[in-house]
Amino acid sequence: MRGSEGTNFLPGDYKMRKIIFLALLALILLLPYAAFSEEKEDSDWDGFKFKLKDLNGDEQTQKDVFAEGDLFLVDFWASWCKPCNMYLPHLAKMVEEYGDRGFKVVIFVVDDAGSIANAKATLKAKDYPFTILFDPGADVQRDLGVKRIPTTVLFDPTGKELWRHVGFSSGDEDEVRKKIEENLPKESSEESEDEDSD
């Protein structure tokens, strides 16, 4: 077949152009999906969101705090709350016990402007092995529907709530420890053998 000005146009050329056009169209349509998938891989956390300051005054987001770990215990604390202050030493022991298995504790401090200086001084003096974040507006507390403090909430690495416990009195630490053990990944046989040999 001969087109205008003597240009040759073969049937195979049409098929090839059609294939190239369809391939480019498919690529254009798939680009947004690929970008979305890459964005989802950046952070698996799909729970609550925040931007708060830690004990050192550095700003932290949920992506920073929940980036690594297998089980997260979130607790709401205030310096004036007696049960809250009774609870923290127990949580510190739990971090010592389960921390090497991916267990992390995140404390949201809900002291307002009138007592926040006291809260900071108290927490700095204790040097707890937690991530401590200051939420004077209690925004995270509201987002999670927490009515009373302390309230303990366990989350998996994606932000799915696994269990919740309201309040704290002597003996509650045993129930919390039981729930941690139920939700942490099981220890491998190699790890158990290593511990037995120590």
Residue 24 is predicted with a pLDDT of 67
H helix and E strand count, the chain: 7, 7
For the chain, the average pLDDT equals 84
CA 77 – CA 141 distance, rounded (Å): 10
Q: Do the beta carbons of residue 126 and residue 138 sit within 8 Å?
A: no
Q: Do the beta carbons of residue 165 and residue 83 sit within 8 Å?
A: no
Burial group, residue 148, by CB count within 10 angstroms (0-12, 13-18, 19+):
exposed
State CA 16 to chain mean position distance.
50
Residue 11 is predicted with a pLDDT of 58
Enumerate residue ranges in the chain where pLDDT < 70: 1-12, 14, 23-43, 188-198
Q: What SS3 string covers 60-85?
A: EEHHHHCCCCCEEEEEEECCCCHHHH
DSSP state of 158: T
Residue 165 is predicted with a pLDDT of 97
181: which residues sit within 8 A by CB, 6+ positions away?
Answer: 98
Residue 51, helix vs strand vs coil: strand
Query: Which residues in 124-188 belong to E strands, given as ranges?
Result: 131-134, 151-155, 161-166
Buried-state track 66-84, b at ≥16 Cβ within 10 A, e below 16: beebebbbbbbbbbebeeb
